[in-house]
Chain A
Amino acid sequence: AQTVTQSQPEMSVQEAETVTLSCTYDTSESNYYLFWYKQPPSRQMILVIRQEAYKQQNATENRFSVNFQKAAKSFSLKISDSQLGDTAMYFCAFDVAGGTSYGKLTFGQGTILTVHP
Protein backbone atom coordinates (compact mmCIF):
# COMPACT_ATOMS: atom_id res chain seq x y z
CA ALA A 1 0.00 0.00 0.00
CA GLN A 2 1.05 3.56 -0.66
CA THR A 3 1.10 6.47 1.75
CA VAL A 4 1.38 10.18 1.02
CA THR A 5 2.32 12.70 3.70
CA GLN A 6 1.94 16.45 3.59
CA SER A 7 3.49 17.83 6.75
CA GLN A 8 2.30 21.44 6.39
CA PRO A 9 -1.41 21.76 7.22
CA GLU A 10 -1.39 25.49 6.47
CA MET A 11 0.95 27.95 4.81
CA SER A 12 0.80 31.57 3.84
CA VAL A 13 2.76 33.71 1.41
CA GLN A 14 2.78 37.29 0.21
CA GLU A 15 1.70 38.05 -3.31
CA ALA A 16 4.58 37.84 -5.83
CA GLU A 17 6.72 35.73 -3.51
CA THR A 18 7.73 32.09 -3.84
CA VAL A 19 6.41 29.26 -1.68
CA THR A 20 7.22 25.56 -1.51
CA LEU A 21 4.77 22.88 -0.41
CA SER A 22 6.19 19.60 0.83
CA CYS A 23 5.11 16.06 0.07
CA THR A 24 6.70 12.72 0.86
CA TYR A 25 5.45 9.31 -0.09
CA ASP A 26 6.16 5.69 0.55
CA THR A 27 5.75 2.89 -1.95
CA SER A 28 7.30 -0.34 -3.10
CA GLU A 29 6.20 0.28 -6.68
CA SER A 30 8.83 1.06 -9.28
CA ASN A 31 6.61 2.77 -11.82
CA TYR A 32 4.14 5.39 -10.69
CA TYR A 33 2.88 8.93 -11.12
CA LEU A 34 2.75 11.84 -8.70
CA PHE A 35 0.35 14.75 -8.90
CA TRP A 36 -0.43 18.06 -7.31
CA TYR A 37 -4.11 18.97 -7.36
CA LYS A 38 -5.49 22.36 -6.35
CA GLN A 39 -8.92 22.89 -4.78
CA PRO A 40 -9.84 26.59 -4.53
CA PRO A 41 -12.50 27.77 -2.10
CA SER A 42 -15.09 27.29 -4.90
CA ARG A 43 -14.34 23.57 -4.46
CA GLN A 44 -13.67 22.40 -8.03
CA MET A 45 -10.42 20.48 -7.97
CA ILE A 46 -7.98 20.86 -10.86
CA LEU A 47 -4.67 19.28 -11.78
CA VAL A 48 -1.68 21.56 -11.27
CA ILE A 49 1.17 19.33 -12.33
CA ARG A 50 2.02 15.69 -12.98
CA GLN A 51 5.31 13.79 -12.72
CA GLU A 52 6.13 10.37 -14.10
CA ALA A 53 8.47 8.50 -11.78
CA TYR A 54 10.72 7.20 -14.53
CA LYS A 55 11.35 10.71 -15.88
CA GLN A 56 14.26 12.33 -14.08
CA GLN A 57 13.46 15.80 -15.34
CA ASN A 58 11.30 17.80 -12.97
CA ALA A 59 7.92 18.80 -14.38
CA THR A 60 7.06 22.48 -14.80
CA GLU A 61 3.85 24.28 -15.71
CA ASN A 62 4.32 28.04 -15.98
CA ARG A 63 4.78 29.32 -12.40
CA PHE A 64 4.49 25.83 -10.92
CA SER A 65 7.42 23.43 -10.71
CA VAL A 66 8.27 20.35 -8.73
CA ASN A 67 11.39 19.05 -7.07
CA PHE A 68 11.17 15.30 -7.49
CA GLN A 69 13.69 13.35 -5.44
CA LYS A 70 12.95 9.72 -6.21
CA ALA A 71 15.49 8.18 -3.83
CA ALA A 72 14.25 10.35 -0.98
CA LYS A 73 10.61 9.80 -2.03
CA SER A 74 10.00 13.51 -1.95
CA PHE A 75 7.83 15.56 -4.32
CA SER A 76 7.62 19.24 -3.40
CA LEU A 77 5.70 21.93 -5.30
CA LYS A 78 7.20 25.37 -5.85
CA ILE A 79 4.90 28.24 -6.74
CA SER A 80 6.72 31.29 -8.08
CA ASP A 81 5.30 34.80 -8.27
CA SER A 82 2.34 33.81 -6.08
CA GLN A 83 -1.02 35.27 -7.04
CA LEU A 84 -4.22 35.76 -5.05
CA GLY A 85 -5.84 33.11 -7.24
CA ASP A 86 -3.37 30.54 -5.93
CA THR A 87 -5.20 30.56 -2.59
CA ALA A 88 -6.50 27.00 -2.30
CA MET A 89 -6.06 23.64 -0.68
CA TYR A 90 -3.31 21.68 -2.40
CA PHE A 91 -3.27 17.89 -2.44
CA CYS A 92 -0.32 15.73 -3.32
CA ALA A 93 -1.44 12.42 -4.84
CA PHE A 94 0.10 9.11 -5.92
CA ASP A 95 -1.04 6.66 -8.58
CA VAL A 96 0.44 3.35 -9.64
CA ALA A 97 1.17 3.18 -13.35
CA GLY A 98 -0.67 0.72 -15.53
CA GLY A 99 -4.14 -0.68 -15.96
CA THR A 100 -4.60 -2.41 -12.64
CA SER A 101 -4.90 0.80 -10.61
CA TYR A 102 -7.96 2.10 -12.47
CA GLY A 103 -6.65 5.55 -11.61
CA LYS A 104 -7.07 5.04 -7.88
CA LEU A 105 -5.35 8.02 -6.30
CA THR A 106 -3.79 8.06 -2.84
CA PHE A 107 -4.07 11.60 -1.51
CA GLY A 108 -2.10 13.40 1.17
CA GLN A 109 -3.98 15.29 3.88
CA GLY A 110 -3.63 18.57 2.03
CA THR A 111 -2.02 21.96 2.62
CA ILE A 112 -4.14 25.10 2.84
CA LEU A 113 -2.25 27.90 1.10
CA THR A 114 -3.27 31.51 1.61
CA VAL A 115 -1.79 34.24 -0.58
CA HIS A 116 -1.92 37.67 1.04
CA PRO A 117 -1.98 40.95 -0.91
Chain B
Amino acid sequence: DTEVTQTPKHLVMGMTNKKSLKCEQHMGHRAMYWYKQKAKKPPELMFVYSYEKLSINESVPSRFSPECPNSSLLNLHLHALQPEDSALYLCASSQEGRGGGEQFFGPGTRLTVL
Protein backbone atom coordinates (compact mmCIF):
# COMPACT_ATOMS: atom_id res chain seq x y z
CA ASP B 1 0.00 0.00 0.00
CA THR B 2 1.76 3.16 -1.22
CA GLU B 3 -1.03 5.54 -0.39
CA VAL B 4 -1.36 8.58 1.80
CA THR B 5 -4.97 9.37 2.58
CA GLN B 6 -6.36 12.71 3.71
CA THR B 7 -9.76 13.62 5.09
CA PRO B 8 -11.85 15.56 4.46
CA LYS B 9 -11.39 16.30 0.75
CA HIS B 10 -13.04 19.70 1.12
CA LEU B 11 -13.64 21.87 4.17
CA VAL B 12 -15.41 25.19 4.52
CA MET B 13 -15.12 26.92 7.87
CA GLY B 14 -15.79 30.25 9.46
CA MET B 15 -13.12 32.27 11.19
CA THR B 16 -14.39 31.26 14.63
CA ASN B 17 -14.65 27.54 13.93
CA LYS B 18 -12.38 24.76 15.14
CA LYS B 19 -11.73 21.92 12.73
CA SER B 20 -9.12 19.23 12.10
CA LEU B 21 -7.48 17.73 9.05
CA LYS B 22 -6.43 14.12 9.13
CA CYS B 23 -3.68 12.27 7.30
CA GLU B 24 -2.90 8.56 7.40
CA GLN B 25 -0.28 6.27 5.89
CA HIS B 26 0.37 2.56 6.34
CA MET B 27 3.72 2.30 4.60
CA GLY B 28 5.70 2.19 7.83
CA HIS B 29 7.12 5.64 7.12
CA ARG B 30 8.63 7.46 10.07
CA ALA B 31 8.51 11.01 8.72
CA MET B 32 5.34 12.96 7.96
CA TYR B 33 4.87 16.46 6.58
CA TRP B 34 2.25 19.18 6.31
CA TYR B 35 2.38 21.58 3.37
CA LYS B 36 0.23 24.52 2.35
CA GLN B 37 -0.24 25.12 -1.37
CA LYS B 38 -1.82 28.08 -3.11
CA ALA B 39 -3.03 27.76 -6.70
CA LYS B 40 -0.24 27.44 -9.28
CA LYS B 41 2.42 27.78 -6.58
CA PRO B 42 4.81 25.26 -5.06
CA PRO B 43 3.97 23.64 -1.73
CA GLU B 44 5.21 25.51 1.34
CA LEU B 45 6.44 23.34 4.17
CA MET B 46 4.67 23.90 7.48
CA PHE B 47 5.69 21.06 9.79
CA VAL B 48 7.80 17.92 9.80
CA TYR B 49 7.41 15.05 12.24
CA SER B 50 10.23 12.54 12.44
CA TYR B 51 9.70 9.46 14.60
CA GLU B 52 6.57 11.12 16.01
CA LYS B 53 8.49 14.17 17.24
CA LEU B 54 8.05 17.63 15.80
CA SER B 55 11.34 18.29 14.01
CA ILE B 56 10.56 21.35 11.92
CA ASN B 57 8.06 24.16 12.47
CA GLU B 58 8.43 26.72 9.72
CA SER B 59 7.28 29.62 11.90
CA VAL B 60 3.67 28.70 11.32
CA PRO B 61 1.06 30.81 13.18
CA SER B 62 -0.29 29.19 16.33
CA ARG B 63 -3.77 28.96 14.83
CA PHE B 64 -2.35 25.84 13.12
CA SER B 65 -1.57 23.09 15.61
CA PRO B 66 -0.08 19.79 14.43
CA GLU B 67 -0.37 16.50 16.24
CA CYS B 68 1.17 13.09 15.58
CA PRO B 69 -0.69 10.54 17.76
CA ASN B 70 1.23 7.60 16.28
CA SER B 71 3.56 6.77 13.43
CA SER B 72 0.70 6.30 10.94
CA LEU B 73 -1.42 9.31 11.74
CA LEU B 74 -0.95 13.06 11.44
CA ASN B 75 -3.50 15.71 12.35
CA LEU B 76 -3.64 19.44 11.77
CA HIS B 77 -5.92 21.30 14.16
CA LEU B 78 -7.29 24.58 12.91
CA HIS B 79 -8.66 27.42 15.01
CA ALA B 80 -9.49 31.06 14.33
CA LEU B 81 -8.23 30.93 10.78
CA GLN B 82 -8.12 33.88 8.41
CA PRO B 83 -9.41 34.02 4.82
CA GLU B 84 -5.81 34.07 3.58
CA ASP B 85 -5.39 30.59 5.06
CA SER B 86 -7.64 29.25 2.31
CA ALA B 87 -5.48 26.82 0.33
CA LEU B 88 -4.84 23.18 -0.48
CA TYR B 89 -3.27 21.42 2.50
CA LEU B 90 -1.08 18.52 1.53
CA CYS B 91 0.21 15.76 3.73
CA ALA B 92 3.24 13.68 2.77
CA SER B 93 5.30 10.89 4.25
CA SER B 94 8.74 9.45 3.68
CA GLN B 95 10.56 6.41 4.96
CA GLU B 96 12.75 8.43 7.28
CA GLY B 97 13.18 12.11 7.93
CA ARG B 98 16.48 12.20 6.09
CA GLY B 99 17.55 14.08 3.04
CA GLY B 100 17.03 12.39 -0.29
CA GLY B 101 14.05 10.21 0.47
CA GLU B 102 11.02 10.10 -1.79
CA GLN B 103 8.02 11.85 -0.34
CA PHE B 104 4.60 10.32 -0.96
CA PHE B 105 1.88 12.92 -1.11
CA GLY B 106 -1.80 12.67 -0.30
CA PRO B 107 -4.50 14.20 -2.50
CA GLY B 108 -4.91 17.17 -0.17
CA THR B 109 -7.71 18.92 1.66
CA ARG B 110 -9.14 21.98 -0.08
CA LEU B 111 -9.79 24.48 2.73
CA THR B 112 -11.94 27.57 2.36
CA VAL B 113 -12.12 30.07 5.22
CA LEU B 114 -15.07 32.43 5.09
| Chain B residues, Cβ within 8 Å of A91 | 42-43
Interface size class of A (residues with CB under 8 A): 20 to 34
Tell me the bound Cα distance from A47 to B99 in angstroms: 15
Output the nearest chain B residue to A32 by Cβ-Cβ distance: B99
Tell me the bound Cα distance from A97 to B101 in angstroms: 9
Total count of chain B residues near the partner, CB < 8 A: 27
Q: Tell yes or no: B94 within 8 A of A by CB.
A: yes
Residues A103 and B103 in contact in the complex (CB < 8 Å), given A43-B88, A44-B108, A98-B98:
yes
Is B108 within 8 A of A43, CB to CB?
yes
Q: Tell yes or no: A45 within 8 A of B by CB.
A: yes
One of B33, B90, B105, B107 near A103 (C-beta < 8 A): B33
Chain A min CB distance to B24 (Å): 15
Is A107 within 8 A of B42, CB to CB?
yes
A-contacting 9-mer, from B48-56, B62-70, B76-84: B48-56
